Amino acid sequence: MASNVSADALALQRLYRWEKTCPDRVALTQPLGGGEVRDYTWREVADQSRRMAAHLQSLGLQPGDKVALLSKNTAHWLMCDFAIWIGGFVSVPLYPTLAAGTIRQILDHSEAKLLFVGKLDGWEGMKPGVPAGLPCISLPLAPDDAARSYPRWEDITAKTEPVKGEPVRPADELATIMYTSGTTGAPKGVMHSFATFAWGVQAGLKRVPIDNSARMLSYLPLSHVAERTLVEHGMLATGMHVYFAESLDTFTSDLQRARPTVFFSVPRLWVKFQQGINQKMPPAKLDRLLKIPILGGLVRKKILKALGLQECTWAAGGAAPMPPDLLRWYNKLGLDLVEVYGMTENCGVSHATLPGKQRPGTVGLPYDGIQSRLDPVSSEIQMKAPCLMLGYFKEPELSRQALTDDGWLKTGDKGALDAEGNLRITGRVKDLFKTSKGKYVAPAPIEDKLVMHPAVEAVCVTGANLGQPLALAMLNPDGVKRSQDSAGRAEIEASMLAHIKAINELLDPHEQLDCVVLMVEAWTVENDIITPTFKVKRNRIEDLFAQNYDTWVGSRKKVVWYVK
């Protein structure tokens, strides 16, 4: 694969380039709390990374050893990754929301020789997952307990001489092992080289307007492939300025500080933005105002400024299907959302819609250099490109199963093509379920429609072996609040009944929903119902609630309230 990428496109070569050509330009902006921020120039980023790399080498680690990283997104997350690479090692990033058992599983499986501990919520619950005797280093902004217990980044870099010169790594050498968040089963360690990421980001940048004047806010986990490709490797490729979010509570002000020109998010957050605006201005009123020539323009500007997206030139959604109605809604605001499609196994780079050419319901066309096809029997989407993974770490059989005999990645997603060749994702191959009438149902398109209800945050459609499908819907905070009194509950119920009726009229008879079960308890990473990227774990939903399905359906109500 290395032949597809020039040496100067690889991660470390790009870091050295910015260190040499624009050492005093700000690369990273990190909030420290209380409104205080700290800027890091390219010179400082490279210098700190070189110092930590020298320290890692001094510990006797061998080239190719695995070094793990457990932290929320910070400037030092990136510097840590660069240090691991400069030192000759392989980085293993962990999601900052994992339970102790999963942390232990990944650290053991990856054979990690050292762990960096950074900014975290809930470190107390995670710490038991760190094997006794595993060396650890605390990053700035780490929990106080970690900063007291382990050597600190600040102290180490202050007294360590930096690695000199420009040590580089061969293109085909293993750079990182990314453990998938996994909606089913144990996480798998996806192996990527410096070449696979370099090729992937180059292909992506042909569609994404990023140069060194671009600004991005990094807030989705950097351990996730989308953030890793777009933010980390995108920053190295272009020299853009990356800002970090401080917390969920400060997210709006973080966005307004960064005023990103490029912004990527998962559908769940785009829905939350929309619901927040609808709470301040009823949808019907907003529609009327947007149609008034001059006033409509002022309203658009005001809303985008409130979101911090007034200077955004490329906005995208991915990691899960974007509801077509949501795309149309943002389009009215003048924000032309691009829908992107990819997975950890291909650096997140496969398909995207084109800016200015929305095709709601599709993920557009393959990036340049990507080959894509549909399996003639199962309609599974398959793709081939130089950004494909090296395989799953220590799992040769799973690696073999992930590819066809002729080397195409089996994505596990089902698809169809429209007349223009745009790809429509129709569901997961394994998510299809069969009702007791022997009819197959694809849940994803129904979920896309249901989640547009203003009181709903997340949805799961299920119903294997039932007469008709049913849906479980988690209410958003506003919906939960309104449901606490009888009038609010009745209002939600009435609007949901109308919503179900409208959706059922669009579905084939065997797909029509028997009922929707409304839930006020949040689906979180902590209770293991969603992954760190907000995908619902269908098998977990089945484990928790399947015993209630017959009762819910038997109630003969279209809307059922779940009381624990």
For range 71-91, the mean pLDDT? 98
pLDDT at position 185 is 58
- 3-class secondary-structure state, position 356: coil
pLDDT at position 531 is 80
521 has pLDDT over 90: yes
Q: Can you read off the two tokens belonging to residue 494? A: 């009435």
371 has pLDDT over 90: yes
What the chain holds in terms of domains, given with CATH numbers, is 2-242 (3.40.50.980), 262-310+312-428 (3.40.50.12780), 433-561 (3.30.300.30)
Band of pLDDT at residue 1, cut at 50, 70 and 90: very low
Percent of the chain with pLDDT over 70: 99
Strand 456-462 to 470-475 pairing = antiparallel
Reported as a single tens digit per residue, the pLDDT across 239-286 is 999 999 998 888 888 999 999 999 998 887 888 888 888 888 888 899
Q: Can you read off the two tokens belonging to residue 409? A: 């990645």
Sheet holding 516-519, edge to edge: 456-462, 470-475, 516-519, 559-561
Provide the 8-state DSSP code for 353.
P
CA nearest neighbour of 344 among 532, 129, 552: 532
Q: Can you read off the two tokens belonging to residue 401? A: 């199963």
pLDDT at position 108 is 97
Q: Give the residue, 540 or 491, on which the prediction is more confident.
A: 491
For range 291-304, the mean pLDDT? 91
pLDDT at position 2 is 42
534 has pLDDT over 90: no
Its sign, for the CA torsion 82, 87, 90, 96, is negative
Distance CA 19, CA 160 (A): 19
∠ CA 104-409-396, nearest 5°, is 45
Contact 469, 436 (CB under 8 A): no
For range 57-86, the mean pLDDT? 98
Phi, psi of 425 (to 5 degrees): -90, 120
Reported as a single tens digit per residue, the pLDDT across 384-407 is 999 999 999 999 999 999 999 999
3 has pLDDT over 60: no
183 has pLDDT over 70: no
Q: Can you read off the two tokens belonging to residue 383? A: 């793709």
CA nearest neighbour of 116 among 55, 166, 180: 55
437 has pLDDT over 80: no
Q: Can you read off the two tokens belonging to residue 194? A: 């410096």
Reported as a single tens digit per residue, the pLDDT across 126-167 is 999 999 999 999 999 999 999 999 999 999 999 999 999 999
pLDDT at position 127 is 97
Band of pLDDT at residue 182, cut at 50, 70 and 90: low
Contact 106, 188 (CB under 8 A): no
pLDDT at position 361 is 82
Q: Which of 5-19, 373-387, 396-410, 414-428 has the lowest mean pLDDT?
A: 414-428
Q: For residue 19, what is the enclosing H or E element?
A: helix 11-21
For range 38-59, the mean pLDDT? 98
**Average pLDDT, whole number, for the chain?**
92
